[in-house]
Amino acid sequence: MTATGRRVLVGRIVGLYGVQGWLKIESWTEPRMRIFDYQPWLLSAAPGTESEVKGVKGRPQGKGLVAFLPDVADREQAAALIGSDIYVAREQLPPPGKDEYYWVDLEGLEVVTTEGVALGRVAHLFATGANDVVVVRDGERERLIPFVQGSYVRSVDLSGGRMVVDWDPEF
């Protein structure tokens, strides 16, 4: 990975395809075939068990995607990779559009209210049907704040490491 070490989860190996070592994968990129544009992949089956893979090839297959990894020669080797998360270096991704952010860039930001009350730091985000949600932790409590720019999220300053929200600190 890169000097900064920031990486982004872009997919997961979910099954086997055929007998020659091909794998079924889930892709969380948009469009989903874009996952093959971002290489090398860093595969992680469990913390501390990471391996870098270059030269991955893939294609659509039915409703999903299948991938061929150069060093995987048979079904048995492929089976050992099921469940592995697929990461890429943050720097491989295209720059986000205006008022768009990669979640990994928001993680760790200090979160303060419009009145300057510190709420904690962004631990992570998750998607809901209506909008994304920012999970803010301060050591004592956890707050779930809708990531709705203009309504709840008033500003994001990545270089300054701060997000300003319109949120009641007691909630």
Q: What is the pTM of this model?
A: 0.79
Which amino acid type is present at position 106? L
In the sheet where 50-53 sits, what is the strand order? 50-53, 41-44, 85-89, 7-17, 22-27, 64-68, 57-61
Low-confidence ranges of the chain (pLDDT < 70): 1-4
What is the C-alpha separation between 93 and 66, in angstroms, rounded?
21
**What is the per-residue pLDDT across 83-92, written as a single tens digit (0 to 9) for each?**
999 999 999 9
Q: Where are the alpha helices (DSSP H) in 17-167?
A: 75-79, 103-106
**What is the per-residue pLDDT across 41-79, written as a single tens digit (0 to 9) for each?**
999 987 778 899 999 999 999 999 999 999 998 999 999
* Domains, the chain, ordered by start: 7-91 (2.40.30.60), 103-165 (2.30.30.240)
Strand partners for 121:
110, 137
What is the C-alpha separation between 15 and 6, in angstroms, rounded?
27
